[in-house]
């Protein structure tokens, strides 16, 4: 029941990032004025943890345009073709809980409440989203 109400809130957002992106530091606003609203709240720099590219740091432009915005299938050569999800969305619930939703083909795949037991890079994305 509680998760359901948070899922309703999620549907009102358009926030998502690549499920293989591990954010580490804020990138700043960048060249666009005004800066776009980004999935993790602002532009984050980080590394790619896709299989075979572990800890690769993409160019900043790639991070801004693809890693931060998700749906990289067909746009990024590092995105695994067998990936379970295309993107991750986050939403802050009314009770302060943060909900994550893994998406595929623009539909929810699975979701849950963020907690310290989540694996990388989902947990790092949730921390970035909440900052």
Q: Which residues bind ligand SF4 (CB under 6 A)?
A: 18, 20-21, 48, 50, 58, 66-67, 72, 76, 78-79
The residue at minimum Cβ distance from ligand SF4 is 48
Distances (CA, A) of 21 to 6, 31, 92: 24, 21, 20
Neighbours of 93 (CB within 10 A): 18
Tokens of 106: 């623009």
* Minimum separation from the CB atom of position 6 to ligand SF4 (A): 25
Residue closer to ligand SF4, measured from CB, 92 or 123: 123
* Minimum separation from the CB atom of position 103 to ligand SF4 (A): 14
Residue closer to ligand SF4, measured from CB, 13 or 83: 83
Sheet holding 107-113, edge to edge: 87-92, 98-104, 107-113
């Amino acid at each position: 029941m509680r998760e359901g109400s948070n899922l309703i809130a999620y549907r009102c957002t358009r926030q998502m990032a690549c499920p293989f992106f591990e954010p580490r530091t804020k990138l700043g606003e960048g060249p666009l004025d005004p800066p776009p609203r980004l999935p993790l709240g602002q532009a984050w720099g980080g590394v790619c943890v896709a299989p075979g590219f572990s800890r690769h740091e993409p160019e900043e432009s790639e991070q801004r345009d693809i890693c931060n915005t998700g749906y990289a299938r067909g746009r990024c050569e590092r995105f695994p073709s067998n990936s379970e999800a295309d993107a991750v969305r986050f939403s802050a619930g009314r009770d302060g809980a943060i909900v994550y939703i893994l998406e595929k083909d623009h539909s929810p795949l699975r979701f849950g409440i963020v907690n310290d037991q989540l694996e990388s890079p989902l947990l790092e994305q949730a921390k970035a989203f909440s900052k």
